[in-house]
Structure 1
Amino acid sequence: MSKQVIATLVLIPFLLFYGLFFSCVQAAGEKEERSWQDEAIYFMMVDRFNNGDSKNDKDVNTTDLQAYNGGDLKGITKQLDYIQDMGFTAILLTPVVDNEEDGYHGYWTKDFYKVEEHFGSMADMKELVKEAHKRDMKVILDFVAGYTGSKNPWLFDKQKQGWYQQEQGENEQIQIIEESPLAGLPHLNFENKEVRKFLINNAKWWVQQTDIDGFRLEDMQSVPKDFWGEFVRGVKAVKQDFFFIGDVSAVDASSVAEYQNMGIGSFLNISSYKNMTKVFSQTGQSPNELYKDWKSDQVVYPNPYLLGNFLDNQNTKRFTRVALEEKQYPPTRLRLALAYLFTSPGIPIMYYGTEIALDGGDPPDNRRLMDFKTDADFLKYISKLGELRKQLPSLRRGTFEMVYDKGGMSVFKRTYQEETTIIALNNTKKTQKVHLTREQLDTNKELHGLMEEDIIRPAKDGYYLVLDRETANVYALAEKTGLNIPFISVLVGINVLFVIFLILVRRRRKKS
């Protein structure tokens, strides 16, 4: 037998194996371009997250919630792997600009062009963004345009006359607007073109200096709508794919949606927040109001998948506190709420400390210092939700249909292209059994449980799901398990060819 034939016989098994392997890799790699609706955001108050540099701990007092507690930018950089391991793909930070004394939260701006010294330096900010981008994570900063701190130097600067609302004649001191939701803070005058120009140039500067990926726009309703149009155009001239998520305090979604004409496609979903808190902070509640929100959002917004969903933030009571007030066990309640947050349409935004069920009432009590002594099982639960959202496009882009709702037990169906997932939520005090009909799901397949491992094979009249009390599961509609004939055929072929090769080699040796 020629050497060429022997070499061919040796190569065939490897070619078959690697051909199969690379075809699988290619199929796995054929993903759609990543969009902002594919992100999951971890939101931090910089001062309360992690102290990474003791050198900037000036006047730090960890026993006083209205003083600086020591968190900084280096501290966040050191915990990027921790955040990513939970499944988050982006981080959102409270303002990092230089603030007035005791402005630990970042909302009392003193100098728009300087990093708050308690948080570090511009070099630290650049390093944070650089390290986040290395991990394919995006960075969003809170941007405050409507007001400054009450002791800002501009208030006493003659060259800045006309920069604030309601000037008192020739008096340089500006009358503070007390009727604002941000009572006590002086609001900027947007009829002044210099104010507009300054803020737009400042925003562009931050993007150019740090390469951040987005802004959360604080208190948008305190600023004229037409300014936001100028602002968005100015920033996008620097970075075209820049992301804006608006914070608008409005009664109804249609009032919020008006800001879309300014070029802002994403907003914090206030209605969803209120209903999620109500539904999941106690047992027996139906998520029907949340489903109605989704139906409404589809009418009001061109892309409702971009809405930012959250359980709590720096301005609300912690979800843990709400559950405690309902005399519930917070971790159990959080598991259900987070299951809905990560599997329903929209961008999930989780406030730091949720992973340890951090408690807190109204501000500043809801801004307690982070403790990294996490519960391993709870952390694993969040990580699994984050991983499922990454791996299953239907959880980020799919349709959303309620297929069962009774007494706190609910089931949702999500479909995207050829992929179908089922989200089951048992918000009751008893084990529940749900029947899904042949019309609702293809019975030529089977359901694979992903949060809790389980395989549900179809009965003649459909599927039967059984869930323990106060638990959730995500199911993938998959092909029926059994013998994988094509793969087994390849393996058999490889072994047969290898045996033939050994026989031929042995015969060749005998002839020699």
Structure 2
Amino acid sequence: MGCRIQYYLIAIFSFCLIISCDKEEDPTNNETEGYIQYGTPMANIPENEELVMYEVNLRAFSADGDLQGVQNRLDEIAELGVNIIWLMPIQTNGGPINSPYAISDYYAVDEEYGTLENLRTFIEEAHSRNILVILDWVANHTAWDHTWMADSSWYTQDVNGNIIHPAGTNWTDVADLNFDNENMANQMIDAMKYWVLEANADGYRCDAADYVLFEFWKRAIDSLRAIPNRELVLFAEGARNDHFEAGFDLNFDWSFYNRTVDIFSNGMNAEYLYSQHIVTYGAVPAAKEKVRFTTNHDQCAWDGTAIDIYGGIDASLAAFAATLFYPGVPLIYTGQEIGWNVQIPFFSNSIINWNYGASTLEIYKKLMNAYTNNEEFKLGALNNFSSSDVVCINREINGNSAWCIVNTRNSYSSFNLPLELQNFSGINLLDGNSFSTNGNVLSLNPFEILIFK
């Protein structure tokens, strides 16, 4: 009898152990982490092709460099037609160079930026303006003082057993994580669930996504999408096409950006922009999108402002317009909208003067108003009529048509109009006045922008 009881006890223990292991290995099990959904998730979020993104560098955005400083200007962000904000990392960071991408605690808001309650309030305020908020997620590496360092098996090691920084980089302030370690991967997924549930975040921009295994992203995204009653936006900082297969909605379009620099700064044939678009979107699955930009935190910090890179404020505006009216998700970076011509670091604070650049801001507002209030530009099919010096594209939907013409040169250009625009009469979408052409040739001022229908 005693042996039988012992057998049953062993069997019960083994069963419980199996169930426990199954739960640990199944990151899509949303009953194990014990988090509670805070607030009310936004419903009916925009389709990917309707997103307009704004990247926030907290350390530059306000004098205090915190969430409240951004919250105070949410109305100004909304005026640009923005419906999704990407916050650069808000988790506790460490390391010798003060990088926000050196995370020392995945579960805490760095006191530099505020508290969990501040983040919750910020997201509530953004939601009240129909703006989603995604957080920057640094999965590839941590700071060297992260608590996970207690288990060296969670990190990549060299042949001598030493933890290393990410291979092929100069990122010596961070330690490379080992995604072959199931416990680490599951803990990472748990942390990603935490912010979606406890802060009501709307998704993530995933840093250095190309460095992380496809298999991890697939498991993590499946887990996040399994959270009940949640719609999320997931954005990969990378160029791998398998990001879409893993479940990401968006990734960066570096090739398109590089082509705009070639055209506007180096005199490349403007027709190549359309060619680049066709090549890029030929590898993008339906309902997925590329994020297109003329600056972001990396470009601005290391290479120069958009004004530096394109060779002047007018050139940067023209490049932005050409980028904006092509298909894709447009991105505006902190201070870009006022033409802030100071390189903005993100390892330290460098405060933007929002009273600067009022005239540039008005141009951005007009461009964004034309884009957001005319469905042709967000949803319409693309037709190309460009020449070697002039970007000319048309977007059509439901029998309606809208146009973007941009002179890519710092000189006067004559553009041979397509038949559709010869002796054309319509509305200038930048000022509401009438717009018309006479004959078959259009004369354009240096870097002139025309948006009409």
Please give the TM-score of this superposition, normalised by the length of structure 1. 0.73
Give the drift of 1:205: 0.8
Q: 2:38 maps to which residue? A: none
Matched, 1:204 2:172: no
Check whether the contact 1:281–1:323 (CA below 8 A) recurs between aligned residues.
Answer: no
Pick closer, same or farther for the CA change 1:316–1:437 going to 2, 3 Å: closer
Distance in 2 (alpha carbons) for counterparts of 1:222 and 1:258: 12
Distance in 1 (alpha carbons) for counterparts of 2:108 and 2:46: 32
Deviations 1:148-204 (A, max 9, x none): 00222322x2xx2411111677x7x63444533534421111111111110111101
Distance in 2 (alpha carbons) for counterparts of 1:85 and 1:454: 21
Distance in 1 (alpha carbons) for counterparts of 2:416 and 2:243: 43
Give the drift of 1:258: 2.0
* Structure number with bigger Rg: 1
Check whether the contact 1:452–1:473 (CA below 8 A) recurs between aligned residues.
Answer: no
Distance in 2 (alpha carbons) for counterparts of 1:81 and 1:189: 42
Q: 2:321 maps to which residue? A: 339
Pick closer, same or farther for the CA change 1:223–1:429 going to 2, 3 Å: closer
Letter in 2 for 1:213: D
2:450 to 445, 463, 473: 473
SS, match of residue 180 in structure 1 = coil
Check whether the contact 1:280–1:427 (CA below 8 A) recurs between aligned residues.
Answer: yes
Give the drift of 1:219: 0.7
1:43 to 52, 55, 59: 55
Distance in 1 (alpha carbons) for counterparts of 2:290 and 2:372: 18
Letter in 1 for 2:60: R
Deviations 1:450-498 (A, max 9, x none): 2255534566xx665443222101011xxxxxxxxxxxxxxxxxxxxxx
Q: 1:265 maps to which residue? A: 249
Distance in 2 (alpha carbons) for counterparts of 1:103 and 1:229: 32
Pick closer, same or farther for the CA change 1:373–1:281 going to 2, 3 Å: farther
Pick closer, same or farther for the CA change 1:105–1:386 going to 2, 3 Å: farther
Give the drift of 1:436: 2.7
Q: 1:241 maps to which residue? A: 231
Distance in 1 (alpha carbons) for counterparts of 2:347 and 2:319: 22
Pick closer, same or farther for the CA change 1:362–1:415 going to 2, 3 Å: same
Mapping 1:370-449, distance limit 5 Å: 370-406=352-388, 408-438=389-419, 440=420, 446-449=425-428
Pick closer, same or farther for the CA change 1:306–1:102 going to 2, 3 Å: same
Identity %: 21
Letter in 2 for 1:187: D
Letter in 1 for 2:233: F
Letter in 2 for 1:448: I
SS, match of residue 379 in structure 1 = helix
Give the drift of 1:431: 3.6
1:189 to 171, 178, 191: 178
Distance in 2 (alpha carbons) for counterparts of 1:37 and 1:277: 24
Letter in 2 for 1:84: A
Matched, 1:165 2:165: no
Letter in 2 for 1:423: C
Mapping 1:143-158, distance limit 5 Å: 143-155=137-149, 157=150
Check whether the contact 1:404–1:410 (CA below 8 A) recurs between aligned residues.
Answer: yes
Deviations 1:26-75 (A, max 9, x none): xxxxxx98312212111111222113xxxxxxxxxxxxxxxxxx411111
| CA root-mean-square deviation | 2.8
2:206 to 214, 217, 228: 217
Distance in 2 (alpha carbons) for counterparts of 1:452 and 1:367: 37
Letter in 2 for 1:419: N
Mapping 1:273-292, distance limit 5 Å: 273-281=257-265, 284-292=267-275
Letter in 2 for 1:147: H
Distance in 2 (alpha carbons) for counterparts of 1:141 and 1:39: 16
SS, match of residue 71 in structure 1 = coil
SS, match of residue 447 in structure 1 = strand
Please give the TM-score of this superposition, normalised by the length of structure 2. 0.82
SS, match of residue 86 in structure 2 = strand
Pick closer, same or farther for the CA change 1:364–1:74 going to 2, 3 Å: closer
Matched, 1:84 2:78: yes
Letter in 2 for 1:401: N
Unaligned segments of structure 1, at least 5 residues: 1-31, 52-69, 251-255, 477-512
Check whether the contact 1:424–1:472 (CA below 8 A) recurs between aligned residues.
Answer: yes
Check whether the contact 2:58–2:66 (CA below 8 A) recurs between aligned residues.
Answer: yes
Unaligned segments of structure 2, at least 5 residues: 1-43
Deviations 1:360-418 (A, max 9, x none): 56966997422212322211111111111111111111122221313x22311111122
Check whether the contact 2:103–2:146 (CA below 8 A) recurs between aligned residues.
Answer: yes
Letter in 2 for 1:418: G
Give the count of matched residue pairs.
408
SS, match of residue 405 in structure 1 = coil
Letter in 1 for 2:405: A
Letter in 2 for 1:241: E
Pick closer, same or farther for the CA change 1:183–1:84 going to 2, 3 Å: same
Q: Which has the higher contact order (CA 8 A, sep 6+)?
A: 2
SS, match of residue 317 in structure 2 = helix
Give the drift of 1:332: 0.9
Distance in 2 (alpha carbons) for counterparts of 1:390 and 1:362: 27
Letter in 2 for 1:198: Q
Pick closer, same or farther for the CA change 1:220–1:33 going to 2, 3 Å: closer
Check whether the contact 1:305–1:345 (CA below 8 A) recurs between aligned residues.
Answer: no
Check whether the contact 1:286–1:410 (CA below 8 A) recurs between aligned residues.
Answer: no
Distance in 2 (alpha carbons) for counterparts of 1:206 and 1:426: 45
Letter in 1 for 2:54: Y
SS, match of residue 179 in structure 1 = coil
Letter in 1 for 2:236: G
Distance in 1 (alpha carbons) for counterparts of 2:407 and 2:165: 50
Check whether the contact 1:424–1:473 (CA below 8 A) recurs between aligned residues.
Answer: yes
Q: 1:226 maps to which residue? A: 215
Distance in 2 (alpha carbons) for counterparts of 1:356 and 1:441: 33
Check whether the contact 2:100–2:346 (CA below 8 A) recurs between aligned residues.
Answer: no
